[in-house]
Amino acid sequence: MSPLNPRQIEIIIRTRYCETDNMGVIHHCNYFHYVEEARMELFNRWGVPYNTIEAMGTYLVVTDTSCKYRSPAYFGDELSVVVSLQRASRYRLIYDFKISRIDQQVLAIGDTALAAVSHKGCPTPLPDRLWTRLIQLQLAEGRRNNAHC
């Protein structure tokens, strides 16, 4: 994560044989795993690991996601996974992502929306610790955005 852009992170993934399909191509569902790994790392870099968020009684569930596949990845490829927080409200986080080969060939682009819910699945605000950190990093849309999902 660049100190100049705390809303974005890049991780490098080396694809594994178990992620391939019968054609030797990385199965499309794995792209979402790569994005999730990058999102988790972004929470770690913000100083609020996801397991801490869950320990505070909040779960971030995927409410919407899309992915446009442009080119396949193969076993052994090194991939750059870039995830950028686009919007943060008291109840939602919206990310864009781009997955590329190290040579910069774009393989997939997309977005993911997460909603904060309680253990019962009811909408709940982001934990104060995470919300405060997003405000400190100037990533939150506003201090008092109480709109529900």
CATH number at residue 49: 3.10.129.10
Query: Cβ(82)–Cβ(34) under 8 Å?
Result: no
pLDDT confidence of residue 89: 95
Q: Quote the number of domains for the chain.
A: 1
Rounded Cα–Cα distance for residues 63 and 81 (Å): 21
pLDDT confidence of residue 91: 97
State the pTM of this model: 0.88
Residue 27 located in a structural domain: yes
Query: Cβ(113)–Cβ(63) under 8 Å?
Result: yes
8-state DSSP, 90: S
Residue 106 located in a structural domain: yes
Rounded Cα–Cα distance for residues 81 and 101 (Å): 9
Residue 66 located in a structural domain: yes
By residue count, the chain amounts to 149
Residue 59 located in a structural domain: yes
Residue 91 located in a structural domain: yes
Kindly list the distances between the CA atom of residue 95 and the CA atoms of 1, 17, 91, in Å, as whole numbers in the listed order. 15, 28, 14
pLDDT confidence of residue 138: 82
* Alpha helices (runs of H) in the chain, residue ranges in sequence order: 29-45, 50-55, 128-136
Residues of the chain under the 50 pLDDT cut: 1-2, 143-149
Give the domain extent around 101: 8-136
pLDDT in tens, 55-74: 999 999 999 999 999 999 99
Residue 53 located in a structural domain: yes
